[in-house]
Amino acid sequence: MTRFFLVAALLAFSAPAFASSFAGSSAGASSAGSSASSGSTSGDDKVVLRARDDAASFVASEGRIRGARLEAALRQLRERNPAARTASDMQLAQAILAL
């Protein structure tokens, strides 16, 4: 059940980036709400999306392979999402793969 909420939170976190990248502007990201940073969320979301290969390696190796992109995404998710702060690295990696 916790994993469901984590995936839902991550999807909500990254949805503005998907909308803005398809629209070709950051208007979708700015209208979706403010974040802790003053910049666009689309660049932040790219960090998480680029970590998918590292997340796949992490999950497949049962946590033995930890890539730099996954580390950056985990750090960012925990900084921006309260639900991610209590999740394990494995739960977050699985949630990244579900995006």
Quick check: is 88 in a domain? yes
- At position 55, the amino acid (one-letter code) is A
Total count of domains within the chain? 1
Alpha-carbon distance of 8 to 43, in angstroms, equals 20
* Inside any domain, residue 27: no
In a domain, 74, yes or no: yes
pTM of the model: 0.61
Q: How far apart are CA 18 and CA 87, in angstroms?
A: 24
- Asked whether residue 3 is assigned to any structural domain, the reply reads yes
Q: Tokens for 38, please give them.
A: 């003053």
Q: Range of 67's domain?
A: 1-12+50-99
Task: Give tens-digit pLDDT for 4-55.
Answer: 556 666 655 554 443 333 333 333 333 334 344 444 455 668 999 999 999 9
Does 75 fall in a domain?
A: yes
Q: Does residue 92 belong to any structural domain of this protein?
A: yes
* Structure token pair of residue 78: 């925990």
98 token code pair: 């579900």
Q: Does residue 64 lie within any of the structural domains?
A: yes
| pLDDT tens figures, 67-95 | 999 999 999 999 999 999 999 999 999 99
What's phi and psi for 62, nearest 5 deg? 55, 40
Let me know if residue 36 belongs to a domain: no
